[in-house]
């Protein structure tokens, strides 16, 4: 197929013009997610820590990102890898001390990197002082009112208050006397408490004034320490529908909560006009209008600080017009674009989700964000190597169909180049710049994701994307830890991905990311425009758009494309066999000479 791009200006239909307001840093930032327990281990116990992050921070500067977001490092029994917080103002000894945090943040500032921390307001750990107080104070006490305790149904309260299921599997309610007993614990009443996730993650009651006050004070605690923003965990979950009505639809995070009566979650990755892939989040536990008042009050707290501090919503909400409500002018600054992450590798599907994302965010004056990997999903280098029909599995285990690693990486590199040229802010997950796949053959004995147990070993869960990072091909644990310890074993395939190998190899995934980030900055793509090259507007095989003076073309499934004379490829996701031929599963950035 030959591209008939004129060398002056292609025929484009303009979707997005640059934002004209103030240039806050988060509008175009590339933000790197650090998963502390798997980034770098400085004290050799096999678990990554804050001192390790500080030691390796130069890697982020070298890569060329603008900011880092750290998954939780707070005091926690680690029942959900730290997303079960026992004290929001303390660092878990596993990860270090507040001094370590300050040293890390100071180094980040020196390197001109913004720092975003994770806030988990939907639930606490059952080790949190409040929960312990709630248990011992008993039914009807103000201490219990901070959480979602209810009497059971049935003759003797033997049935849970409603039929909700936990995201990690099993019922979302636990009865107090099922876990504790009078003789040993001094607690044995028959109330039930709600936990949308693990039993060890009781949901907070956001109608309680003390809960609201305390979280504002937690925001201030970290803002005073100089953090530039917060990633808000389960931002769509804090407020539940009044009366906690039963829900017969399916409840899930990644795919969204599916409409009542649906028997199957739709995951084939074909978005509808709204950009939605998962069927919406219409259940009574998610995306209730009441959450927005919380974010309006947090916005006011953030505003009293200098430096454009930002809130980013982790909200698995569809349609995108609902998601955009979280980033209205007086609420948060960003929301993760999971509809984009869950869209299949298909030009028409991608065009639909990009259109909807930009349209809905432009409507409220917020930047669109883009993301392909994080600590909850199979890494895109593995996901994209799976046969169609297994688009977003909850983990890949050694007995599951295995991805085609080479195809996955080739597509992942193309997908990343495409993503980094889109206007808005982009999120990278640690290791993707090394072309890291998931550990897809991890032995089940090592699994730690609570979803693995709670779902009765039917889904591998998220450990595969959380395996420690390879830094040096020839060091123990590939340089992750001085002693060679690693809380999850690393597969042999990680050797070739090690940062030192990647940095020494021309055309490595690392050098592609580095070059993309440099060009993105030089051409100001994050604050740029977007127009579709109309020649391809209706094909399912080619996606082509223009942002500022760069044309970005991805051959998603068709024959090789011949670029016209007078154009030049400045970056390609795979080596090109001829200067103007774009093969299948390749993305190129083109300029006109």
577, with CB counted inside 10 A (0-12, 13-18, 19+), is exposed
Q: With respect to ligand GLC, which residue has the nearer C-beta, 80 or 546?
A: 80
Partner whose footprint covers residue 266, from ligand GLC, Ca ion, none (CB < 5 to 8 Å by kind) = none
Partner whose footprint covers residue 45, from Ca ion, ligand GLC, none (CB < 5 to 8 Å by kind) = Ca ion
Segment 505 to 524, residues that bind ligand GLC, using CB under 6 A = none
Give the nearest distance from C-beta 365 to ligand GLC in angstroms.
27
Among 74, 88, 197, 510, contact with ligand GLC (rule: CB under 6 A): 197
Give the nearest distance from C-beta 264 to Ca ion in angstroms.
42
Q: With respect to Ca ion, which residue has the nearer C-beta, 369 or 430?
A: 430
Partner whose footprint covers residue 253, from ligand GLC, Ca ion, none (CB < 5 to 8 Å by kind) = ligand GLC
376 binds ligand GLC per the rule CB under 6 A = yes
| Angle (deg, nearest 10), helices 509-522 and 405-420 | 10
Segment 382 to 411, residues that bind ligand GLC, using CB under 6 A = none
Give the nearest distance from C-beta 470 to Ca ion in angstroms.
17
CA torsion sign for 505, 507, 513, 514 is positive
DSSP H stretches of helix in 64-194: 98-110, 129-137, 176-179, 182-185
Those residues with Cβ within 8 angstroms of residue 299's Cβ, 6 or more apart along the chain or in another chain: 311, 330, 331, 332
| Angle (deg, nearest 10), helices 50-63 and 509-522 | 60
Decide if 265 contacts 256 (C-beta within 8 A). yes
Among 53, 63, 79, 120, contact with ligand GLC (rule: CB under 6 A): 120
Judged by CB under 5 A, the stretch of 33-41, 169-177, 446-454, 571-579 that binds Ca ion is 33-41
Give the nearest distance from C-beta 180 to ligand GLC in angstroms.
23
Contacts with Ca ion, 39-58, as mask; x by CB under 5 A = --x-x-x-x-x---------
465 binds ligand GLC per the rule CB under 6 A = no
Degrees (nearest 5) of the Cα angle 272, 275, 276? 75
DSSP structure class, residue 339: H
Decide if 194 contacts 202 (C-beta within 8 A). yes
Kindly state the number of chain residues that form the binding site for Ca ion, as judged by CB under 5 A: 5
Among 49, 233, 438, 546, contact with ligand GLC (rule: CB under 6 A): 233
Report the residue closest to ligand GLC, judged by CB.
83
Segment 173 to 212, residues that bind Ca ion, using CB under 5 A = none
Q: Which of 198, 274, 314, 438 is catalytic?
A: 314
Residue 575: other Cβ atoms inside 10 A: 9
Q: With respect to Ca ion, which residue has the nearer C-beta, 51 or 525?
A: 51
Segment 554 to 593, residues that bind ligand GLC, using CB under 6 A = none
Among 29, 53, 94, 234, contact with ligand GLC (rule: CB under 6 A): 234
Give the nearest distance from C-beta 376 to ligand GLC in angstroms.
5
Give the nearest distance from C-beta 100 to Ca ion in angstroms.
11
Q: With respect to Ca ion, which residue has the nearer C-beta, 47 or 415?
A: 47
360 binds ligand GLC per the rule CB under 6 A = no
Decide if 468 contacts 485 (C-beta within 8 A). no
Instruction: Let me know how long the chain is.
Output: 593
Residue 576: other Cβ atoms inside 10 A: 15
477 binds Ca ion per the rule CB under 5 A = no
DSSP H stretches of helix in 283-430: 291-303, 320-324, 338-341, 347-364, 380-383, 405-420
Report the phi/psi class of residue 162: left, alpha or beta, with left for phi > 0 and alpha for psi in -120 to 50. Answer: beta
546 flagged as catalytic = no
Count how many Cα atoms sit within 13 Å of the Cα of residue 237 in the half-sphere of its side chain: 25
Q: With respect to Ca ion, which residue has the nearer C-beta, 41 or 92?
A: 41
Decide if 502 contacts 510 (C-beta within 8 A). yes
Decide if 265 contacts 252 (C-beta within 8 A). yes
CA torsion sign for 445, 451, 457, 463 is negative
Give the nearest distance from C-beta 234 to ligand GLC in angstroms.
5
Judged by DSSP in three states, 542 sits in strand
Q: With respect to ligand GLC, which residue has the nearer C-beta, 202 or 526?
A: 202
Kindly state the number of chain residues that form the binding site for ligand GLC, as judged by CB under 6 A: 10
Give the nearest distance from C-beta 233 to ligand GLC in angstroms.
5
Partner whose footprint covers residue 150, from ligand GLC, Ca ion, none (CB < 5 to 8 Å by kind) = none
Decide if 327 contacts 335 (C-beta within 8 A). yes
Report the residue closest to Ca ion, judged by CB.
49
Give the nearest distance from C-beta 200 to ligand GLC in angstroms.
11
Q: Alpha-carbon distance 312 to 67, whole Å?
A: 13
In 58-137, DSSP assigns E strands to: 67-70, 74-75, 87-91, 114-119
Decide if 175 contacts 207 (C-beta within 8 A). no
314 flagged as catalytic = yes
Q: Which of 118, 233, 433, 438 is catalytic?
A: 233
354 binds ligand GLC per the rule CB under 6 A = no
Which positions touch Ca ion (CB under 5 A)? Answer: 41, 43, 45, 47, 49
Which positions touch ligand GLC (CB under 6 A)? Answer: 80, 83, 120, 197, 233-234, 253, 314, 375-376
Catalytic residues: 233, 314
């Amino acid at each position: 197929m030959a591209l008939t791009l004129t060398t002056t200006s292609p025929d484009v239909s303009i979707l997005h013009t640059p934002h004209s307001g103030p240039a806050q840093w988060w509008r175009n930032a590339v933000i790197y997610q650090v998963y502390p327990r798997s980034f770098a281990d400085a004290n050799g116990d096999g678990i990554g820590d804050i001192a390790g992050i500080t030691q390796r921070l130069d890697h982020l500067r070298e890569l060329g990102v603008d900011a880092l977001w750290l998954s939780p490092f707070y005091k926690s029994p680690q029942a959900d890898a730290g997303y079960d917080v026992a004290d929001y103002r303390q660092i878990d000894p596993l990860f270090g001390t507040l001094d370590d945090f300050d040293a890390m943040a100071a180094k980040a500032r020196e390197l001109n990197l913004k720092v975003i921390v994770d806030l988990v307001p939907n639930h606490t750990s059952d080790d949190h002082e409040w929960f312990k107080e709630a248990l011992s104070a008993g039914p009807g006490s103000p201490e219990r009112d901070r959480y979602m305790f209810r009497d059971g149904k049935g003759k003797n309260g033997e049935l849970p208050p409603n039929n909700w299921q936990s995201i990690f599997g099993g019922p979302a309610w636990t009865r107090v006397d099922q876990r504790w007993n009078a003789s040993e614990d001094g607690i044995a009443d028959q109330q039930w408490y709600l936990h949308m996730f693990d039993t060890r993650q009781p949901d907070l009651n956001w109608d309680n004034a003390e809960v609201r006050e305390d979280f504002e004070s937690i925001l201030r605690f970290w803002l005073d320490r100089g953090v530039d923003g917060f990633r808000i965990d389960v931002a769509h979950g804090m407020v539940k529908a009044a009366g906690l009505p039963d829900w017969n639809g399916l409840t899930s995070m990644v795919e969204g909560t599916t409409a009542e009566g649906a028997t199957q979650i739709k995951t084939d990755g074909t978005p509808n006009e709204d950009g939605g892939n998962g069927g919406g989040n219409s259940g009574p536990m998610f995306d209730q209008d009441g959450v927005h008042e919380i974010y309006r009050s947090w916005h006011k707290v953030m505003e009293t600080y200098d430096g454009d501090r930002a809130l980013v919503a982790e909200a698995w909400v569809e349609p995108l017009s609902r998601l955009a409500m979280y980033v209205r002018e007086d609420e948060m600054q960003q929301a993760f674009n999971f509809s984009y992450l869950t869209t299949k590798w298909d030009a028409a599907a991608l065009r639909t989700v990009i259109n909807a994302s930009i349209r809905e965010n432009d409507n409220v004056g917020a930047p669109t964000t883009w993301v392909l990997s994080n600590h909850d999903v199979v890494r895109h280098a593995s996901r994209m190597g799976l046969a169609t029909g297994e688009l977003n599995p909850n983990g890949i285990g050694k007995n599951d169909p295995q991805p085609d690693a080479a195809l996955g990486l080739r597509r992942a590199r193309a997908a990343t180049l495409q993503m980094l040229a889109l206007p808005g802010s982009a999120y990278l997950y640690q290791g993707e710049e090394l072309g890291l796949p998931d550990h897809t053959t991890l032995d089940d004995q090592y699994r730690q994701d609570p979803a693995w147990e709670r779902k009765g070993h039917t889904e591998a869960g998220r450990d595969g994307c959380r395996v420690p990072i390879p830094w040096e091909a020839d060091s123990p644990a590939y340089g992750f830890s001085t002693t060679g310890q690693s809380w999850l074993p690393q597969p042999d395939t990680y050797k070739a991905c090690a940062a030192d190998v990647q940095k020494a190899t021309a055309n490595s995934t690392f050098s592609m990311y580095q070059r993309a980030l440099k060009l993105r900055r030089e051409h100001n793509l994050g604050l740029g425009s977007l127009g579709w090259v109309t020649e391809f507007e209706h094909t399912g095989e080619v996606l082509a758009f223009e942002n500022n003076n760069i044309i970005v073309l991805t051959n998603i499934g068709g024959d090789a494309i011949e670029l016209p004379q007078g154009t030049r490829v400045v970056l390609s996701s795979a080596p090109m066999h001829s200067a103007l031929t774009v093969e299948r599963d390749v993305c190129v950035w083109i300029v006109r000479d």
